[in-house]
Amino acid sequence: MGRRLSKRLIFRKKIKYGVNNPKNNGLTFNISESGIAIAANKLFIPGTKIIAALFLDEEILKFQGVIIWSDLGLNGYRSLMGIKITSRPEKIKDIYSKLASMNIQ
């Protein structure tokens, strides 16, 4: 794994994702300036391009992304994936900045 470009912040929201349409359910668990990590019910291999709908409190943010890493959960652990956002990056940065300003660590 490469060096992280920005700190990960806790971020828990419902997400739907898929290759052609966002039909698989997941739950985000952290966010960076350019990506989101999710607990997933269907894994895709790194390099897979996806579309997603992120359920924010006041809106549904639709975006495109690419799977950077995936980890098949074994022995009761959930499967996880990291998504690099390739569209709407300014919106993700806004969300990240708001969380970072509220996060005193």
- The continuous run of DSSP H or E covering 35 comes out as strand 35-40
Question: What is the CATH architecture assignment of 9-102?
Answer: Beta Barrel (2.40)
Q: How many helices (H) and strands (E) does the chain have?
A: 1, 7
Question: Strand, helix or coil at 98?
Answer: helix
State residue 66's pLDDT score. 97
The residues of the chain scoring below 70 in pLDDT are 1-6, 76-77, 103-105
Domain boundaries, the chain: 9-102
Q: What is the pLDDT of residue 104?
A: 56
Nearest to 18 by CA among 90, 73, 83: 83
> In the beta sheet, which residues pair with residue 49?
66
| Predicted local distance difference test score (pLDDT) of residue 63 | 95
| pTM tops 0.95, yes or no | no
